[in-house]
A and B are shown apart, each in its own frame.
Chain A
Amino acid sequence: METRKRAFLKVIILGDSGVGKTSLMNQYVNRRFSNEYKATIGADFLTRDVTVDNKLVTLQIWDTAGQERFASLGVAFYRGADCCVLVYDVTAPNTMDSLDAWRNEFLEQADPLHHDEFPFVVIGNKTDIQAKSEKNSVTQSWCSGKGNVSYFETSAKNGSRVEEAFQTVAQKALEQDTELTKEAYPSPIQLPQDNNKSHEGCSC
């Protein structure tokens, strides 16, 4: 029962506060950047239509608060995500160290079917300030150690590699949006519970 309806893909952005999650989203969706820092309270939602494999899909991007005091939108919030973006700041090495914690938090809360296969995209942001991450190799090996993880270094300010990063996000997310296996399709008719009983009713 394939439909032509456009797929919605839910993407969650996580990372320490100030690494540029909201800026990345704004750059990607609105192609804008503001130097002013405003902490995200709770979450923001933006959408963008993007073509992947000749299919038009809608990315539903859930930008979250990095600051712990705002990060309380609840377990259910992460559920049903198709891809998770982990962001760190290339100029602040300690934010890279948090990736493990964010990844674990996501897996714990979203609890996807296969933890090891769930797609992540890691983004080292702010390459406009520092062209190459000191932690480039560390991050690379972290990513390759985690299975389905891609790595990009971007600048939300000048837009460098932001498109490519989110294109990969969309690609990976779409891979999650697969058809159901046969068993999930509507079951054939089942006799209402107890066959004998209904026949009793019939025969008298």
Chain B
Amino acid sequence: MAEGKEAEQVSTSDSDQADFIEPETPVEIKNSMLVTTDSYEHIDYQDLESPVYDSHPSGIIHAIVRSGSVEESTDTNDEELHTQCEESNEDASSNELSSKEISDVTEEVSKPEVPELNSAEFDEDDVQTPEWRNQKKHVFILSEAGKPVYSRHGTEDKLVTIMGVMQALVSFVHDNGKDALRCIIAGEHRFVFLVKDPLILVGVSRGQDSTQQVLLQLSYVYNQVLSVLTYSTLHRIFKQRRNYDLRRLLSGAEKFLDNLLNMFDSEPSFLLGAVECLPLDSVIRDMIAQSIVQHAKVKDLVFALILANNKLVTLVRMKKYYLHPMDLHLIINLVNASESFKAAESWTPICLPKFDSSGFLQAHISYLDESCQTCLLLLSVDRESFFTLSDCKNRIKDRLLKYNGLKAISDSLTRTSYSIQQCGISDLRHFLYKSRSTAQYTSPELEAPYLSQEEQERLFGLYHYLHHRIHTTARPLKILYSVGPHETLLGWITQGFELYAVFGPLVTKPAAIHAINRLLRWIKKEEDRLFILNSVTF
């Protein structure tokens, strides 16, 4: 991989560009069910620091819809693009602290003096074990007082000191001219800081993730905390007690954080800001959606959705309300991380921060089949509606049984996704295709040579690299053709889609371009099955 970077070419010349004929947007719908933000640009520093969705927790959905639609129009607006670019350049320069500043900081905060002083104590410390140090990715949450809240690896009890140092670093930089500490690069480690009053989130990565990608992960972690507590509660607590030990309120929720981070490392949906749909015949999908519409027309029911194996089967929403992909990922994580929903119908409060960070929606969660693969979620603002929704669930289930909807879902699940062979394109090993207007993506199964865990991680690393190179704010690219020792990568962004394709190392550029064009035609042909194209409302 590393050697590959040297051989890469960035196709920018006119002749190269001419080969990429932008097709008509393969998937075009006016009425999307998901808020279609361009997730990546959306979650940059400006967005993370923007007080908009924090300080106006209510009614935020309207703001999101607005910002989503505005963003698409700016794509064509050169002037605006230009200024954005300048901003991001500034961003980049202030982004990484000069090495001098860093050394100032490290001088200022002396390490726990001489290790010999307390070597006996440190032996037991997790921080000192090679296992702990060799973890690829650490994520820490601490309060602004420097009290540990969560650590992905190791127990927080043992990490009091390291979290203290982190708080001191953030505090020190903040005090020197109201600056913000964003990233420290030390050897092969990248320390990324996200300060979300009253919490400090720190990601430490040894992998290829870019600062922005780690930051995206941290903002997901933050939203997961909000999902359990709500923004209003989190702030009320720390306003009342700055010294509060948040682990008390989060106890039991650690598994959601763990699971989210694990999914993040293996599922491209987070990186792409998109969801994967279960491939289904559009007639059957419509039938499933209509079953919900007809049998769950209940006051205050905002969203109804069916998930199967982390994939979206259908989503029905109240008119005017949209689900943000980030919120949908939290819902998927909730279902994925919990075994208890399999035992009985559940009634769970969940805050969807992009929807409304000030309060809880109440989720009726149940599995529709014996094998617990097909999960129905009914999200309401009425917390007294459990029995009403339970009735709805039974009627929906009956209808789905009657019309073989559940069978269609389980059939699709046994087929898993689809083989790359079905696309009928030689040389193409794997791809991710995101439809930007629907915030959905599709991807074939992982096949040889990506069968082992290591190879899958390596492939995922390639996608991270490609995604980062294309979306880097300092120099965003439309097309990137990169020849590596084991694979050739091709990334292509248009207004309608993002495509990341992986070829064998010996493919030629014309062959790759030819393959991509054939792939796009195939996706166009299959789009009814791979994507949810029409948005259903109550």
A residues in contact (CB < 8 Å) with B: 1-3, 5-8, 10, 22, 26, 29-30, 32, 38, 40-47, 58, 60, 62, 70, 72-77, 79-82, 110, 112-113, 176-178, 180-181, 183-194, 197-202, 204
Number of residue pairs across A and B with beta carbons under 8 Å?
A: 191
Say whether B174 contacts A189, CB under 8 Å: no
Say whether A74 contacts B175, CB under 8 Å: yes
Tally of B interface residues using CB under 8 Å: 67
Residues of chain B contacted by A58 (CB below 8 angstroms): 157, 160
CB-based closest 9 A-B pairs: A80-B145, A74-B175, A190-B359, A201-B319, A193-B59, A74-B171, A76-B171, A80-B242, A45-B164
Considering only residues 82-130 of chain B, those with a C-beta below 8 Å from chain A are 107-110, 112-113, 117-118, 121
Since A80-B242, A181-B240 are in contact, a sample of 8 more A-B pairs with Cβ atoms closer than 8 Å, ordered by chain A residue number, is A30-B117, A46-B118, A180-B241, A189-B361, A189-B362, A190-B360, A193-B58, A199-B299
Name the residue of chain A whose CB is nearest to the CB of B56. Answer: A193
Known: A75-B175, A190-B356, A198-B302. A80 touches B147 (CB 8 A): yes
Of B233, B251, B320, B383, the contact of A1 (CB 8 Å cutoff): B251
Say whether A46 contacts B383, CB under 8 Å: no
Say whether A45 contacts B112, CB under 8 Å: yes
CB distance from A34 to the nearest CB of B (A): 9
Say whether B157 contacts A198, CB under 8 Å: no
Residues of chain B contacted by A178 (CB below 8 angstroms): 241
The reply to whether the CB of B382 lies closer than 8 angstroms to some CB of chain A is: yes
Say whether B167 contacts A192, CB under 8 Å: no
Bound together, the chains give a CA A112 to CA B356 distance in angstroms of 30
Bound together, the chains give a CA A192 to CA B62 distance in angstroms of 11
By CB atoms of chain A within 10 A, which of B59, B146, B236, B349 has the most?
B146
Say whether B360 contacts A80, CB under 8 Å: no
The reply to whether the CB of B381 lies closer than 8 angstroms to some CB of chain A is: yes
The reply to whether the CB of B17 lies closer than 8 angstroms to some CB of chain A is: no
Say whether A62 contacts B164, CB under 8 Å: yes
Q: Mark B351-364, 1 if CB is under 8 A from A, else 0.
A: 00001101111100
The reply to whether the CB of B472 lies closer than 8 angstroms to some CB of chain A is: no
B residues in contact (CB < 8 Å) with A: 58-59, 61, 107-110, 112-113, 117-118, 121, 143-148, 157, 160-161, 164-165, 167-168, 170-172, 174-176, 229-230, 232-233, 236-237, 240-245, 247-249, 251, 299-300, 302, 318-321, 349, 355-356, 358-362, 381-383, 537-538
Residues of chain B contacted by A202 (CB below 8 angstroms): 299, 318-319, 538
Known: A177-B243, A193-B59, A202-B318. A73 touches B171 (CB 8 A): yes
Say whether B168 contacts A43, CB under 8 Å: yes
Sample of 8 A–B contacts (CB below 8 Å): A10-B243, A41-B109, A43-B110, A60-B161, A77-B171, A113-B241, A113-B242, A193-B61
Residues of chain A contacted by B232 (CB below 8 angstroms): 187
Say whether A6 contacts B157, CB under 8 Å: yes
Say whether A26 contacts B59, CB under 8 Å: no
Residues of chain B contacted by A8 (CB below 8 angstroms): 147-148, 160, 245
Of A6, A10, A26, A38, the contact of B145 (CB 8 Å cutoff): A10
